[in-house]
Amino acid sequence: MKPSNRRRMLALSALIMSAVFANVATAQSKETLKFGLAMPLSGSQALYGADQVKAAQWAVADINAKGGVNGKQLEMIVVDTQADPQLGINAVKRLTSVDNVPVLITAWSSVVKAVAPIANRDKVLELSVGANSPDIAKLGDYVYTTFPLAEVDVSALSKHTYTTLGKKTAAVLYINNDSGVEGAAIYKGVFEKAGGKVVAYEAYDSKATEFTGALLKVKASNPDIIHIQGLVADLPQVIAQMRQLGLQQRVSTYSAGYNPKVIEQLGAAAEGLIVTSLAPGVSDNPNVEPFINRWKESEKRVPNGLPYTQYLYDGPYLVAELYKWIEKNKLPATGENLRKALITVKNFELPLTGGLSVGEDHRVNKPVYLLTVDKGQFVPLATIK
């Protein structure tokens, strides 16, 4: 090669090399720590899903504002599931094969179950945050919940009702879908084991708007307390009709009832209602009040399903911790390694929900907070560890 050509060649290759290095360098600084969030952004559950997504987005912004994880920014990719299993599968497939996330957060029991096979096959860590079906613990190696499953709060409530509140007989009304059936069975089992008697055990159809028959059977059994395992949509109607039919007993339900809308729709009929919450309240955790105030300032209201938004706020923090472990041990960001991080670190301290201990059985245990409606407001009743 002629000397001038060679020089030109060298110059050109230097130019190319520098361009490549520059790209690599910028790519590295642009490198983000990705994770997915599959939530109902539309559909009948959207009002909860949207708020939960917002909480998670705030968390990501907060974490990144403080420098992210070792200087790298967290990137959250949000997809819509409409709380529907089929759409959930489509959405999560996009996350795993198009966006290539190694870890994702999702909720709503039917979606969690439907996408579990994908997580297990593609070795992507699936964090279920908010769904409470007991089956979730058995969905496979890559599915973990950070939210206590149904047996935790329903059991605690049931036991407390018998031992502390002193109710000897209970009636159980439940909606005829998986969460209703499973939750009701747990309540009954624990109540009877503690020594109580379940005198009525009635189901109502998920599409029903009229519950007279079941309610009259409950009335005839004369229970000390009535436990309803329903959804937030039907709960007010059941209680309304209950009161109108002359059932004056105290009513208890699980976390679905912890919603200001219930009080709004029922007015005085809501007095005395006992609900569970699996997230600490204002008096239990100092971070909660600023969180609520932040909602009031930016959205001019309280969040729908406050405890769930607390868990979703902590979700990105948990993911950040997992990434931190990976970075520390210089491992590639794969689902397999993130899972290893989860079970190795095991104990986490999260801002809005406190301590989290991930069990080998894929379950978590948390204190259960009982609240009751007093003069139109939810006030704490008891805390059960």
Partner 1 sequence: MIDLSILLQIVWTGLAASSYAILFAVAFALVVKVVKVWNFAQAGVMALSFYVMYAAHNKFAIPLLASVGIGLAATISANIFMDRYGLQTLRNRNSPSLTFFIFTLVVSEFLAYLLAMIFGTEPVALKPSIMSGVNIVYGVVISNWDIEAVCVTIGLLLVLYLFMYKTRDGQFMAAVADNPELSRFYGINVTRAYVITFVIAGVLVTAGMYLFGTKASIIPNTPLQMMLFAVIATLLGGMGRIFAAALAAITLSLIQGLSIFVIPSEWQGLILYVFLFITILFFPQGVSLQKFKQLMAPLTINKPLHKKGI
Partner 2 sequence: MEYFISLAVLLGIYITLSSSFNLIIGYGGLVSIAHPIFFALGAYTTGLMAIHFQTNPALAVLAGGGVAFVSSAMLSLPSLRISGDYLLITSIGFQLGLLEVIKHVSFTGGASGLGNIPNVVEGSSRSAVFAIISCLIAAVVVWMIRWLLRGPYGRVIAAMRDDELAFSALGRNAMMIKLTLFAIGSGFAGIAGGIYAYYFQYISPDQFEILQSAMLLTMVVVGGMGSQWGPVVGAVLLLLLPQAIGFLNLPSSVMAPLQGVIFTTLVLAFLFWRPQGLIGSNQRQSEGGA
- Which residues of this chain interact with partner 1, rule CB under 8 A? 42-44, 46-47, 176, 202-205, 207-210, 212-214, 216-217, 219-220, 233, 236-237, 240, 243-246, 264-269
Q: How many residues bind partner 2 (CB under 8 A)?
A: 32
Q: Which is nearer to partner 1, 76 or 238 (CB)?
A: 238
Cα(266)–Cα(254) distance, integer angstroms: 17
3-class DSSP state for residue 12? helix
Nearer to partner 2, 108 or 323 (CB): 108
Select the residue interacting with partner 2 from 48, 76, 80, 174 (CB under 8 A): 80
> If binding is defined by CB under 8 A, does position 50 make contact with partner 2?
yes
C-alpha dihedral sign at 131, 45, 353, 95: positive
Per the DSSP assignment, residues forming a β-bridge with 106 are: 38, 128
Among 136, 157, 156, smallest CA distance to 145 is for 136
Q: Point out which span in 5-13, 17-25, 77-85, 163-171 binds partner 2 (CB under 8 A).
A: 77-85
- Least distance CB 82 / partner 1 (angstroms): 9
Could you tell me if residue 220 is left (phi over 0), alpha (psi between -120 and 50 degrees) or otherwise beta? Answer: alpha
For residues 83 and 118, which CB has a smaller minimum distance to partner 1 in the complex? 83
Establish if 46 lies at the interface with partner 2 (CB under 8 A): yes
Q: Can you tell me which of 68, 85, 260, 351 binds partner 2, judged by CB under 8 A? A: 85
- Give the CA radius of gyration of the chain: 25
The per-residue DSSP string of 171-226 comes to: EEEEESSHHHHHHHHHHHHHHHHHT-EEEEEEEE-TT-S--HHHHHHHHHH--SEE
> How far apart are the C-alpha atoms of 111 and 87, rounded to whole Å?
8
Q: Which does 260 bind (CB under 5 to 8 A by kind): partner 2, partner 1, none?
A: none
Closest separation in Å from C-beta 217 to partner 1:
6
In 191-325, the DSSP E strands lie at: 197-204, 225-229, 250-253, 274-277
Judged by beta carbon distances under 5 to 8 A according to partner kind, the member of partner 2, partner 1, none in contact with residue 44 is partner 1
Between 248 and 329, name the residue whose CB sits nearer to partner 1. 248
